[in-house]
């Protein structure tokens, strides 16, 4: 089953913050986050392996709530380069399923 992402789309001004959520109806063993620019391949951002884990990547960070079966991606002080579609991926038996994506647009 695919994880569910929200919101589907968000528009920001440079410097604003955003949160993207990812939830699953199944137990999560790991959560991946990727960003895809238009016409390009998805690029790996980070992975969270344990409940309660938080990670940072410049001004992009994420948390993983194993109990609630959800993860959130935090983008702070957004830059134009943050524009793209963000996907979460959640691990199953031996494969990973991706959410439908959140389109983030950062405007000057």
Partner 1 sequence: DAGITQSPRYKITETGRQVTLMCHQTWSHSYMFWYRQDLGHGLRLIYYSAAADITDKGEVPDGYVVSRSKTENFPLTLESATRSQTSVYFCASSEGHLASGYTFGSGTRLTVV
Residue 13 or 38 having the CB closest to partner 1? 38
Chosen residue from 62, 101, 104, 106 binding partner 1 by CB under 8 A: 101
Kindly give the pairing relationship between strand 9-13 and strand 102-107.
Answer: parallel
d(CA 23, CA 30): 12
Strand spans (E) along 17-69: 18-23, 31-36, 43-48, 54-57, 60-65
Binding mask 30-69 for partner 1 (x = CB under 8 A): x-x-x-----xxxxx-xx-x--------------------
Rounded to 5°, angle at Cα 40 from 95 and 13: 105
Per CB under 8 A, the segment of 14-22, 61-69, 73-81, 97-105 that binds partner 1 is 97-105
Q: In whole angstroms, how close is the CB of 15 to partner 1 at the nearest point?
A: 28
d(CA 97, CA 3): 7
Residues that bind partner 1 (CB under 8 A): 2, 29-30, 32, 34, 40-44, 46-47, 49, 87, 89, 91, 94-101
């Amino acid at each position: 089953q695919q994880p569910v992402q929200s919101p589907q789309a968000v528009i920001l001004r440079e410097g604003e913050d955003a949160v993207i959520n990812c939830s699953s109806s199944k137990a999560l063993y790991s959560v991946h986050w990727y960003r895809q620019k238009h016409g390009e391949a998805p690029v790996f951002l980070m992975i969270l392996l344990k409940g309660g884990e938080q990670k940072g990547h410049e001004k992009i960070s994420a948390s993983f709530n194993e109990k609630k079966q959800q993860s959130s991606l935090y983008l702070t002080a957004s830059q134009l380069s943050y524009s793209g579609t963000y996907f979460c991926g959640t691990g199953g038996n031996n494969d990973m399923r991706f959410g439908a994506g959140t389109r983030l647009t950062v405007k000057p």
